[in-house]
Amino acid sequence: GQGVDEPLSATGFRQADAAGSFLSNVKFTHVFSSDLLRAKQTAATILGKNKFCQDLEIKYDARLRERKYGVAEGRPLTDLKAMAKAAGEQCPSFTPSGGETLDEVRERARDFFEFLCRLAVELEKKEQDVHGAASRSSGASEEQLVFPWTNHCSEAELSSGNDGASKILDANILVVSHGAYMRNWMGYFVSDLNCTLPTNLTKSQLSSVSPNTGVSHFIIKLENGNLLKPEITCVCLNQDSHL
């Protein structure tokens, strides 16, 4: 949860290090992290292994915090399950006293995602104003576009458009957050925004919590800067081949 702000364990640092090696060839334009210590340390470890982005500023955002679990924070998961059972409910829909409801978590995710979309649109406008739209596709290294999980998805899922346009992105954003929060964010993508999912993704995978440092990759298209209708494709979900 949010109330217990512990650092990463030795295992956590090893997992973050593995994720950093896994993502070392991906050039990010922005990095955002939860402001909780374990996420901060994960983000810093990942950037420390990156070939392009070691000096990139990590921006911390409270909207990326883990779900707040109220009176259950700092206690074993079995206690949370017992509280839910006593209330005649099941995890994860149960909300302990003082905790956040799933709707409240999803609202945080929606607010942060809309912020990212506005950021991307502003970047595109700025790029066009400075260089002109025609020059955007020049001067980018192919190495920057190498995503390490391409062998886990189809090429169609990675294509950037029906017109064969350049795969160079206006923004390539790394977000470091938490398991229960990200599961709610994924639910928002699927139920509210009709996210396109990998064909081999099962229902149980969709509802499961990511393993520590699991990587999920989404391609977001905003046609003509339309913030109201983002087109979202999930390339991979909770990828953990680096662990």
Given its phi and psi angles, is residue 76 left (phi above 0), alpha (psi -120 to 50 degrees) or beta? beta
Pairing verdict, β 215-221 and 231-239:
antiparallel
Rounded CA-CA distance 183/120 in Å is: 23
Rounded CA-CA distance 170/173 in Å is: 10
How many other C-beta atoms can be found within 10 angstroms of the C-beta atom of residue 160? 15
106: annotated binding-site residue? no
Residue 139: both structure tokens together: 């001067």
Are residues 58 and 171 in contact, defined by beta-carbon separation less than 8 angstroms? no
- Which 8-state DSSP code applies to residue 65? S
The contacts of residue 133 (CB under 8 Å, 6+ apart) are none
> Positive or negative, the Cα torsion across 61, 183, 122, 56?
positive
User: Bridge partners of 176?
Assistant: 33
38: annotated binding-site residue? yes
The contacts of residue 54 (CB under 8 Å, 6+ apart) are 47, 48
- The closest of 38, 35, 49 to 8, measured between CA atoms, is 38
Q: What are phi and psi of 121, to 5 degrees?
A: -65, -40
65: annotated binding-site residue? no
Residue numbers in the known binding site are: 38, 66-69
Residue numbers in the known binding site for substrate are: 38, 66-69
